[in-house]
Chain A
């Protein structure tokens, strides 16, 4: 029984897109029973001017989306302390609130802002964390995500993935001719601050982040057929790196950033290759008449999980890579179900998320590599493109909702779910970025 408690809070958010304002709705479709109650008191704003960014609201939404926390609603905050010394812990204990966050935002003379916050354990009446972060106006949302990360790390013991990005493809139909416009976009992990990285009237797909988060590799049909490109996310400088005959597809950046695994069909059918990013030198991984595609790296860089239909239907296989190429035999990983494809390996290398068919529906499944147990995480159909958050807590994927392509996220245990609905176009092919360098 996956479904526990349904929270339907729709938060309407405005996302800054290039030229136009698009509206993004985040629906938390399934919350978690036993999520940690936390009170986030609205941060004090020390100015007469309008608050440039509601930081405490961003933090509250972050923690709620993770499924791990149950933030107390604003109207239920019976006291509003602004610093630790004002907290009456007994009040919060009677409300069964485990943790409390207070803070304030002060404008600085140089046009920047100082954001101070403190996190408390209500029962022990102790401060768990306290920081003062200087932020530009533009950087206030990022500061809020960093605070969410600090809270998450303190209370969950693992790094939060709020201060990260997602890349995805949006397809919009324009005009009477319904010309399709494909956009490769990057947004904050909560869907805000959308930036268009690349757009084309030809298909774009399969974005893959470089481990330093600076580049994205992707497939574009800019010249009428699939070719591979690498693009710098901030300068937008683009380089075509593979345009062999046939497929140039499914790029996956190696964990050390030096190599790309990819699919080429120049030999007659789709095979997996590894390309050295600097020299573009290729080494071949698979040799099979079947389809071999969708490589995903093991986090240690010493192996790949990929899709192959060498056994009939598409299933996941694992290959170990040594210094001199393929080591040992290729191992089949999935046996449950007639269709398992598009692997995403968890950052700890213990789980593999995939597109998993159950009867006529395509769900996101996750396979525990140790126990070989498969868990179906989603109950929608037409789910595809799973991508692990860099802390392994959530999986973002593409699905279909009311005849629209949307992104959804699910916690790895399947207990927390949310939908990200962009008002404009079909959204698909999400890729969660690595952690930012600190």
Chain B
């Protein structure tokens, strides 16, 4: 997958520059400091960093994508839309609390929330597939908030991964 991403990245440089114009920089404040879009290289690095983030985390019983993930999803949207041959599975998950079937429905709604944000930014629905595992596939095994917060997630899985 690393190779594929690099390829995508190189061929997607032009797109990434465009992408940055729509990306906010609320976390690191680079926009305020150095001025926007002065260095293509720096922006590309940002883009790659964003693309390497593949997991979106949620609050309990919520499918609202928090604003801190907007930049990441914008980067992915540009990347996926720029490569029509790529497909991405959006895997929705929930923490272990509550009932299993409700959690599967919740995982699906989380995956759909991410799907919507991606399609709004130009990704074709045909490139995306949502699958919910509910609470069946936790990444953290504890029974406390530190584990639960890692399990309430949507993973973006690029084809070939």
Query: Which A residues have a C-beta under 8 Å from some C-beta of B?
Result: 203, 205-206, 221, 224-226, 246-247, 249-250, 263, 265, 269-270, 291, 293-294, 307, 309, 313-314, 339, 341-342, 355, 357, 362, 382, 384-385, 400, 403, 428-429
Contact = CB atoms under 8 A, between A and B. Distances in A.
Given A205-B136, A291-B109, A314 B104 contact: no
A339 B102 CA distance: 11
Contact of A342 (B97, B102, B109): B102
B98 A357 contact: yes
Interface of B: 61, 96-102, 104-106, 108-109, 112, 130-133, 136-137, 143
Given A203-B133, A225-B131, 18 more contacts: A205-B136, A221-B133, A224-B131, A226-B104, A249-B101, A269-B109, A270-B108, A291-B106, A314-B102, A342-B99, A342-B100, A342-B101, A362-B97, A382-B143, A384-B99, A384-B100, A403-B143, A429-B100
A382 B100 contact: no
A307 B137 contact: no
A293 B143 contact: no
Contacts of A400: 143
Contacts of B97: 362, 382
A428 B100 CA distance: 10
B98 A314 contact: yes
A173 to B, nearest CB: 10
Nearest to A295: B101
B101 A206 contact: yes
Contacts of B98: 314, 339, 341, 355, 357, 362, 384
B136 A203 contact: yes
Tell which of B102, B132, B143 has the most Cβ of chain A within 10 Å: B102
A265 B100 contact: no
B67 to A, nearest CB: 22
B98 to A, nearest CB: 6
B101 A293 contact: yes
A408 B22 CA distance: 54
B61 A313 contact: yes
Contact of A247 (B100, B108, B136): B108
Contacts of B130: 246
Contact of B108 (A206, A224, A246, A314): A246
B108 A265 contact: yes
A226 B107 CA distance: 12
Nearest to B136: A203
A263 B100 CA distance: 13
B111 to A, nearest CB: 10
Contacts of B133: 203, 221
B99 A249 contact: no
A355 B99 contact: yes
Given A224-B131, A269-B109, A314-B61, A247 B99 contact: no
Contacts of A224: 131
A136 B13 CA distance: 76
A203 B101 CA distance: 12
Given A291-B109, A362-B97, A247 B132 contact: yes
A377 B99 CA distance: 17
A247 B104 contact: yes
A364 to B, nearest CB: 11
A174 to B, nearest CB: 16
Nearest to B89: A224
A254 B61 CA distance: 30
Q: Which 8 A-B pairs have the closest CB atoms?
A: A342-B99, A203-B136, A341-B99, A291-B105, A270-B105, A250-B101, A341-B102, A293-B105
Contacts of B102: 291, 293-294, 307, 309, 314, 341-342
A33 to B, nearest CB: 32
Contacts of B101: 205-206, 249-250, 263, 293-294, 307, 342
Contact of B137 (A203, A309, A384, A429): A203
B151 to A, nearest CB: 13
A317 B105 CA distance: 16
Contacts of A362: 97-98
A291 B104 CA distance: 10
A221 B99 CA distance: 18
A87 B101 CA distance: 55
Contacts of A429: 100
A429 B100 CA distance: 9
B154 to A, nearest CB: 15
Given A203-B133, A403-B143, A247 B96 contact: no
A225 B102 CA distance: 16
A400 B143 CA distance: 9
16 contacts: A203-B133, A203-B136, A205-B100, A221-B133, A224-B131, A249-B104, A250-B101, A270-B105, A291-B109, A293-B105, A294-B101, A307-B101, A309-B102, A342-B100, A342-B101, A382-B97
A101 B77 CA distance: 73
Nearest to B111: A246
B113 to A, nearest CB: 11
A342 B102 CA distance: 8
A177 B130 CA distance: 26
A225 B137 CA distance: 13
Contacts of A385: 99-100
Nearest to A386: B99
